[in-house]
Amino acid sequence: MSHKLNNIVDKTFPKEERLNSKKLIQELFEEGSSFYLYPFKLITLPNPDKDSKKHQILISVSKKKFSRAVDRNLIKRRIRESYRLNKHFLYSEERAIKPLLIAYIYIGKEIHDFRLIQSKLIKSIHRLMDEASKS
């Protein structure tokens, strides 16, 4: 059992854990609940697809705030890397939660370095856990 869990908690980031369905994305933005945790805005929704066992995430950086594609790529890569290294908190055995759809929207006005993004992302994951276990 623990071996299987280790598989999920791996530091991989395959396609199943990315949100790439137009329909689900639309549902998430229309019906999801959101909160702010600088430099992110998070929107979450329990995954309507009951077969799915994993959380799916989406990362977005506004084109208005960062007009150059290079900057947007850099921020998205840092967020994605932070999530990949820290997502194991979401899969903890003690506090299992239902699979979620999560959108990370970067609302910061400048490009923050990896350490800050990572620490904030860990905080956001803990908050997600709290909110999910309440309901």
Partner RNA sequence: UGAAUAGGCCGUCUUAUCGUUCCGAUUAAUCGGGAAGGAAAGUCCGGGCACCAUAGGGAAGCAUAGCGGCUAACGGCCGUCAUCCCGAUAAAUAUCGGGAGAGGACUAGUGCAACAGAAAGAAUGUACAGGUAAUGCUGUAGUGAAAUCAGGUAAACUCUAUGCGGUGAAAUGCCAUGUAAGCUUGCACUUGAGGGUUCCCGCCCAAAGCAAGUGGGUAGGCAGAUUGAUUCUGACGGUAACGUCAGAGCCAGAUAAAUGAUAAGAACCCGUUUAUACGGGAUACAGAACCCGGCUUACAGGCCUAUUCUUUUU
Q: Which of residues 81-100 bind RNA (CB under 7 A)?
A: 81, 84-85
What is the total count of residues that contact RNA (CB under 7 A)? 30
Q: Considering only residues 114-133, where is the footprint of RNA by CB under 7 A?
A: 114
Among 2, 113, 134, 135, binds RNA (CB under 7 A): 113
Beta carbon nearer to RNA, 25 or 122:
25
- Among 74, 132, 131, residue whose Cα is nearest residue 106: 74
Our finding on whether 11 is near RNA (CB under 7 A) is yes
Q: Does 18 bind RNA (CB under 7 A)?
A: yes
Residues contacting residue 2 through CB under 8 Å, at least 6 positions apart:
none
Candidate residues 4, 64, 68, 134; the one interacting with RNA per rule CB under 7 A: 68
* CB 115 to RNA: min, Å: 7
Q: Which is nearer to RNA, 30 or 93 (CB)?
A: 30
- Asked if 43 contacts 124 with a C-beta cutoff of 8 angstroms, the reply is no
